[in-house]
A = this chain, B = another copy of it.
Amino acid sequence: MKQSQLFTKTRKESPSDEVSKNAILLIRAGFINKERAGVYDYLPLGLRVIKKIENIIREEMNALGGQEILMSTLQRKELWEKHFKQDRWSDENVDVWFKTKLSDGSELGLGFTHEEPISNMLEQFVSSYQDLPFSVYQFQNKFRNELRAQSGIMRGREFLMKDLYSFYPDEESHKTFYNKAKSAYRKIFDRVGIGEITYTTLASGGSFSEFSHEFQTVCDAGEDTIYITDESKKEAQNKEIGAKDTKEVKAVEVGNIFTLGTKFSDPHLKFKDKEGKEGNVFMGSYGIGLGRLMGTVVEVLSDDKGIVWPQAIAPFRVHLLSLGEKGKGYADEVYKTLVDRGVEVLYDDRDLRAGEKFADADLIGIPTRVIVGDKSLESKMVEVKERIETESKNISLDALVSELKK
């Protein structure tokens, strides 16, 4: 894409109403726009990152056998109030509801999670052990009426979430799936580039705490505290347990997986086993917030010049900069060549000084910067610099293409 066509612009000054690093950098670089605290729009660069994260997660969910659906935001009061064994409609039990009304006065809620409607929807399809097991997932906007929302896109009042739900006949078969899901989660965090600093902790509380985990990424802006050791193999504790040699660090919960048991299936989502005996379906739920994951990457990988995107979720693979009048034609040619070879390129074809283009490229954080200057036309060499490195090198266009295709 030509940067001259992109409607967003970077800005030098930080927004005055933001305190979190992720929001400040993402707003300055033109990835997001703030509607109000905890409510953000995704602009073209930001939406490209979200879509890449979404695709990585979708691939891993499909590999688990998950079937993609899309539930509604609007929620029926009756379903949350008394259909299953616990009342999650009451504001005393759940303090994050946004509620609204139909024109006839009946109340609706905006979904903050989807256990109730998913279990209820499945009642029509599940009656026998032969209908099990399966898992379903969605990418869906969640709404949570948070009292405070000062962490940028890491804690939204409206936020995109992947939630997967698994349905098994019993605890034993559930555990096999649960462990696969746990591995899939680790793979996701590896693929988006934060696997090395992401720890698995046992989730506290609940009836199945041994099979309930959080994924915590070490991050100064995190709201949680975890205890890690050097030989932890990415397992950590979420409370001090006297293990010696642990280090206390701040962390962000980037994902969680829970064994729910029959909490949301009892009494309505049931099946008959081989002997004709009736039981409730054994459930698990598995969540990742896409915005939170994107915000965490910005928090932990950025430097004082701007964002540093891992390749897998960068909005573009290459940031091509044309410098000077004479090099322009050759830069156009390089752009065309790269795009023709299937490389995603943001092409800074604007009529600006080199310093401004460099500063923008550092702020936006695309992995590889390619400069075509006045001398490139003659030498047919381009200057290549990785965002995370300080040294650049001059190579031919052919060499660049084959490096990018590796």
Contacts and interface: CB of A to CB of B under 8 A. Distances in A.
Interface in A125-142: 125-126, 131, 134, 136, 141
A134 B72 contact: no
Interface string A48-75: 0010000000000000010111111111
Contacts of A8: 125
A158 interface: yes
Contact of A7 (B35, B99, B134): B134
A72 B5 contact: no
A69 B98 contact: no
A41 B72 CA distance: 5
A117 B41 contact: yes
Main secondary structure, interface of A, reads mixed
Contacts of A95: 103
Q: Say which size band chain A's interface belongs to.
A: 35 or more
Contact of A36 (B11, B36, B76): B76
Interface string A64-91: 0101111111111000000000000000
Interface string A229-245: 00000000000000000
A101 B100 CA distance: 8
A249 interface: no
A338 interface: no
A77 to B, nearest CB: 10
A327 interface: no
A157 interface: yes
B7 A67 contact: yes
